[in-house]
Amino acid sequence: MPRGDLFPDIAPYETGLLPLTGGHVMYWEQVGNPRGQPVLFLHGGPGAGAGAVHRRFFDPAHWRVVIFDQRGAGRSRPLGELRENTTAHLVRDIEALRRFLGIERWLLFGGSWGSTLALAYAQEHPQRVTGCVLRGVFLGRRAEVEWFLYGLKRIFPDAWAAFAEHVPPEERGDLLAAYLRRLTHPDPAVHLPAARAWSQYEGSCSTLLPSPETVASFAQDRTALGLARIEAHYFANDLFLPPEGLLGRMDRLAHIQAEIVQGRYDMVCPPETAFELANAWPRARLTIVPDAGHSALEPGVRTALVAAVERFRRRG
């Protein structure tokens, strides 16, 4: 897939491992200009981890880009660990990383679950946030989780059938519980096939047009295990969000500017959620990409995201 609208590949100028609570260790890296304007990249999932392509949304001459893998995800350790793994832990981890790196305030950039975590962090620490660039908005509500587990059957019946048929017919009335039992089973012969089935389902539904490259990347064992196990864990616990939900605390962000980018045909996180968020956020600008689904790497979405980041650069 040509990605000429992204910035060129770049290596980190610094990487590290930050010890956290509960035996977790966070992988982090910094890319771009060490004296530049700070921006924090928040990956999706939960549990998907970050990759080299995510560095390319930012002009390395201007931005000091901080990227990290959340608890249990990607290059953080232990992979797929669920103990002491909640949204509150992740918010505290972000603050620990900010203090460790000596950053006063930063722009938040996140898509899908990354948008959820960005909102949760910003609502807890609004004084640390210069703005938000969010994509494929997910607010973690029960109806959104149910849509992922069952509603997508209406649009992707073939992908959903493969997802559901991984478990016996008598367990398909509660796919989340059925998958969580398998994903937390100690035997790799049980949890790895379940992780692949879950992750391939998500990857198959993430783009407007079929993308074997996307599905293959989701199906890799390390990506699949972190994504599927942690995602199921969070889904089973209402994403560890406050009872009033994220929309119930939007008054805390009324002064913060935001750019929201949403694919018109995003089936994983349908556009109505982005509309609700934009309507609750006086300083948010919503961009609908007319020919895109959920993935950040769809041509129209990545172009809109780069443009959104550039608008924040011009604002200073």
Q: Is 217 a catalytic residue?
A: no
Backbone φ and ψ of 9, nearest 5°: -55, 145
Amino acid found at 230: I
- Of 112, 206, 211, 295, which is the active-site residue? 112
In 3-state terms, what secondary structure has residue 268? coil
Cα 242 to the center of its chain, rounded Å: 19
Distances (CA, A) of 230 to 21, 44, 189, 225, 314: 17, 11, 18, 8, 37
DSSP code string of 162-221: HHHTTS-GGGGGGHHHHHHHHHT-S-HHHHHHHHHHHHHHHHHTSSSS--HHHHHHHHSH
For residue 70, what is the DSSP state? P
The DSSP bridge pattern shows strands 25-32 and 63-68 to be antiparallel
Q: Is 294 a catalytic residue?
A: yes
Q: Is 266 a catalytic residue?
A: yes
- Of 24, 204, 294, 295, which is the active-site residue? 294
Distances (CA, A) of 96 to 28, 29, 104, 283: 12, 14, 12, 28
- Of 54, 76, 199, 266, which is the active-site residue? 266
DSSP run (H or E) holding 143: helix 142-149
Amino acid found at 268: V
Q: Please say whether the beta carbons of 222 and 95 come within 8 A.
A: no
Please name which of 48, 50, 8, 49 lies closest in space to residue 32, comparing C-alpha atoms. Answer: 8
Distances (CA, A) of 314 to 7, 128, 158, 171: 17, 19, 45, 53
Active site (catalytic) residues = 112, 266, 294
